[in-house]
Amino acid sequence: MHVTLQRRDEVGAEGEDNRPKAAEKGNVLMVDDEATITAVYARQLRKHGMTVEVATDAAAAAELVRTRAFDVVVSDVTMPGMSGLELLRIVREHDLDLPVVLMTGGPDVKDAIKAMEYGAFRYLAKPVPLAELTDVVTRAARLHRMARVRREALQELSRGGHAISDRAGLESRFSNALETLWMAYQPIVSWSARCVYAHEALVRTDEATLRRPDDLLDAAERLGRLRELGRTIRSRAAQTMREHPTLQGLIFVNLHTEDLADEDLFSPSAPLSEFASRVVLEITERAALDRIDEPMGRMKRLRAMGYRIAVDDLGAGYAGLTSFAQLEPEIVKVDMSLVRGIHLSQTKQKLIRSIVELCRDLKIQIVAEGIETVEERNALIRLGGDLCQGYFFARPERPFPGVTFGPSSCD
């Protein structure tokens, strides 16, 4: 595996749907008390095929959310009466899937953290470039439609109304995916030490219809086989560590929150338990911990076995800080949505600087994911970051016997 460890002066490579029928690209609720700005943004989104409904205050928007179906809510943060953050909290109480994009003329780190905590999709600084607004809202609408279709499919399956042949086909494809499942490894680099600090194990399969990890997870969830998938992933990661002694340093292994309810994870005889002292368990905040009994007690048991805990996807999508206190992680991984183009965004730089300082105070290590350019890397280093991951350094690769995994590990 080749790992790019260049110096700063080097240039790097690379129920009932009452939605209006015209809203093919998304039905958007725009909330802002500034009529001029609202008109400009609404006109831009309509020009790109979206249906836009406008509310001039958060209270009116909250009532619309309760009675109408929307794909995206775009709201100002500071408004008379109810704030955009209060609206976000109401939206989350009503609909866990509905993306909320918050805009503000005066970015504030505390507000941004609250926005992440309550599950904001994005936090944008005004004036928002029209192209950026269109891109963010378009992606949010697509994600919401995917979530809605998935939820409807799960509801249909739970009623037994879905065609048996469809489920049988999915069962067959999923079983083949498990049989052909393998792990790719991507290095996490310490820039200050110019060495490989760790590798993240990323799930892959040769089943053509389920090659995307998200599709594989969705299939496991639909079939009620998440636990089986989690055990297979952990077993494959342990197998790699056993067969490839040149894979030095820590290994990051992703957990679905449902894995925390599986007693196999805590068994001394489980394959991964043998390597617990070298494993960091990544727990994403994209899925809530509220269905897991005594999560803090489970974290204590895992640490007693030798595992370390990381919070994954910090700042992504609906991810926030809601489970941070329960997990008390040794490591946090900042999602690529905050890293991408960071050298061009003062807001992202301010957020990353605050996260770096907070983690330093709490003695938590921070990993920046998704670095693709030398400019992004340099910006993160200037802001106090050190541990980096992304295509700029190396792509995930399959291990082969006798192959050394890049530069020496950080001893």
Q: What is the pLDDT of residue 328?
A: 85
Q: What is the pTM of this model?
A: 0.61
Spell out the residues 6+ positions from residue 259 whose beta carbon is closer than 8 angstroms to its own. 226, 227, 230, 265
Q: Please tell me the distance from the alpha carbon of residue 247 to that of residue 398, in angstroms, as a whole number.
A: 12
Q: pLDDT tens across 67-83, in order?
A: 888 999 999 988 888 88
Are residues 221 and 170 located together in one domain of the fold? yes
CA 314 to chain centre: 7
Are residues 141 and 177 located together in one domain of the fold? no
Are residues 296 and 332 located together in one domain of the fold? yes
Range of the domain at 55: 27-155
Q: How confident is the model at residue 109 (pLDDT cuts 50, 70, 90)?
A: low
Q: pLDDT tens across 2-19, in order?
A: 565 654 444 443 344 444
Assigned token pair, 364: 């938590």
Are residues 346 and 267 located together in one domain of the fold? yes
Q: pLDDT tens across 234-283, in order?
A: 999 999 999 887 777 899 999 998 899 999 999 999 999 999 999 999 98
Q: How confident is the model at residue 108 (pLDDT cuts 50, 70, 90)?
A: low
Task: Please count the structural domains in the chain.
Answer: 2
Q: Which residues pair with 190 in a beta bridge?
A: 195, 387
* Residue 164 pLDDT exceeds 50: no
Q: Please tell me the distance from the alpha carbon of residue 24 to that of residue 51, in angstroms, as a whole number.
A: 8
Pick from 36-45, 171-180, 306-315: least confident: 306-315
Q: What is the pLDDT of residue 254?
A: 95
Are residues 61 and 208 located together in one domain of the fold? no
Q: Please tell me the distance from the alpha carbon of residue 132 to that of residue 100, in angstroms, as a whole number.
A: 15
Q: Please tell me the distance from the alpha carbon of residue 338 to that of residue 347, in angstroms, as a whole number.
A: 9
Q: What is the pLDDT of residue 159?
A: 46
Look at residue 177 and tell me if it is in a domain: yes
Are residues 170 and 147 located together in one domain of the fold? no
Q: What is the pLDDT of residue 337?
A: 84
What's the average model confidence in pLDDT over 298-314? 92
Are residues 37 and 147 located together in one domain of the fold? yes
Q: How confident is the model at residue 24 (pLDDT cuts 50, 70, 90)?
A: low
What is the Rg, in whole angstroms, of the alpha carbon atoms belonging to the chain?
Answer: 22
* Residue 400 pLDDT exceeds 70: no
What's the average model confidence in pLDDT over 208-213? 88
Are residues 83 and 181 located together in one domain of the fold? no
Q: Please, are residues 138 and 29 in contact by the beta-carbon 8 Å criterion?
A: no
Angle, in degrees to the nearest 10, between helices 164-179 and 213-223: 130
Look at residue 249 and tell me if it is in a domain: yes
Alpha-helical (H) ranges within 190-282 are 213-223, 226-243
Q: Which helix (H) or strand (E) holds 282?
A: strand 279-284
Are residues 178 and 145 located together in one domain of the fold? no
Closest CA to 218 of 287, 291, 282, 164: 287
Burial of 102 (0-12, 13-18, 19+ CB in 10 A): buried
Are residues 135 and 196 located together in one domain of the fold? no
Q: What is the pLDDT of residue 264?
A: 96
Pick from 218-227, 261-270, 312-321, 387-396: least confident: 312-321
* Residue 110 pLDDT exceeds 80: no
Q: What is the mean pLDDT of the chain?
A: 82
Look at residue 326 and tell me if it is in a domain: yes
CATH code of residue 38 = 3.40.50.2300
